[in-house]
Amino acid sequence: MAAPLAHKPPPTTWLLALLPAVCSVPAATAEPGWLYYGGDQGGRHYSDAAQIDRSNVQDLEVAWTFRSGDMATYGEEMTKTSTQSTPILLPAAAGESLVYCTPFNRVIALDPASGAQRWSFDPQIDHGGDRPFRCRGVSYAREPRTPVGKACRHRLYLSTHDRQLWAIDATDGRPCGGFGEGGRVQLYGDGGLVPGEVSNSSAPVVADGVVVTGSTVIDFVRATTPRGTVMAFDSFSGQPLWQFDPLQGHAGSGSANVWAPMSVDEEHGLLYLPTSAASPDYYGVDRPGDDLYANSVVALDLHSGELRWHFQHVRDVLWDYETPAQPILFDWRKNGEVISA
């Protein structure tokens, strides 16, 4: 594998457009940003920013346009892509860049005010297989075990199309050398896998020293597709911590993978998995029973991977119904009591 690249602006093509605020706001009074894929770790997709409202939204104009260069670089391969990335806005200590990923897992940091590129990171993924290329985002975390002022105190984590988990410095895009081998960890291995059969598209979850990644498994190719194993690693070193197979005990089946974004409740040490369907998708004879824990929201202990509870939406599904969205965590108020839900 060729060495990854972290470098200054390349040629440009893929579009990323942002709308500006109606008026400028001093940094000291700047309104909330967007630090995670779902706005917060619980996937609420909510911001209490109030500068843009019904009275001025019609006055918005395009502030800038950025082109990533993927079209010029990859040409016809672009027909196998879709742009699904949600940008995140880093805190000031991490460079205050707007960061997103292209379908080929290139990570690009932009000046949010001007759209100028600050840096980019190219993991140089393996393009083998017929699986479409997509990247839904990256995850940010401050690593307290790295001394203040040292490289990789602020990190971005990326799961790639070719089953790699990367940790890079959020300030300049350089790989974190102390994480795995040269900043990356191999996911799943190659034993018995057809190229492109298993990939990664959603951003990993990072909380309290643990980074967790799911997977995307191709559908409708065979009865025993690869297992949808969820993997957790130490966010500082990349050392494996635990694995969870959502289809424990179902030898004649596969998948039930977690391809959608996960949520985490760091206060209670809980990780929430939105699992997908088991294989074969439209034929249940080879997978008797309820298909636990496919088509479910599964709560795991963040640090051990042990099952805490589950809720299955559809038992023994025959229609490829899945859990395609990040679980939303919120406070439910009932009879004057606040319940974490």
pTM over 0.75: yes
AA identity, residue 122: D
- 256 three-class SS: coil
- Reported residue count of the chain is 341
Judge whether 102 and 70 are in contact, CB under 8 Å: yes
Segment 306-334 shows an average pLDDT of: 91
How many CA atoms lie within 13 Å of 68's alpha carbon, on the beta-carbon side?
A: 26
pLDDT by residue (tens digit) across 79-102?
A: 989 899 999 999 999 999 999 999
105 pLDDT more than 70: yes
Non-local (6+) Cβ contacts of 166 within 8 A are: 4, 121, 123, 157, 158, 159, 160, 175, 179, 183, 184
User: Has residue 158 got a pLDDT over 70?
Assistant: yes
In terms of Cβ atoms closer than 10 Å to its own Cβ (0-12, 13-18, 19+), residue 339 is exposed
- pLDDT score at 251: 66
pLDDT digits (tens, 9 = 90+) for 266-305: 999 999 999 999 888 777 777 777 889 999 999 999 999 9
Cα separation, 101 vs 27, in Å, equals 26
Higher pLDDT among residues 104 and 219, named by residue: 104
Encoding tokens for residue 276? Answer: 């997908």
Is the predicted pLDDT of residue 148 greater than 90, yes or no?
A: yes
pLDDT at 128: 81
* Residue 16: pLDDT over 80: no
pLDDT at 1 over 60: no
How many other β-carbons are positioned within 10 Å of the β-carbon of residue 218? 19
Tokens at 15, concatenated:
């579009």
Instruction: Report which of 322, 303, 218 is spatially closest to residue 260, judged by C-alpha positions.
Output: 322
Q: Is the pLDDT of residue 18 over 70?
A: no
Short-list 33, 37, 35, CA closest to 327: 37
- If you write DSSP's letter for every residue of 272-316 in order, what string do you get? EEE--PEESTT--TTS-S--TTSSEEEEEETTT--EEEEEESSSS
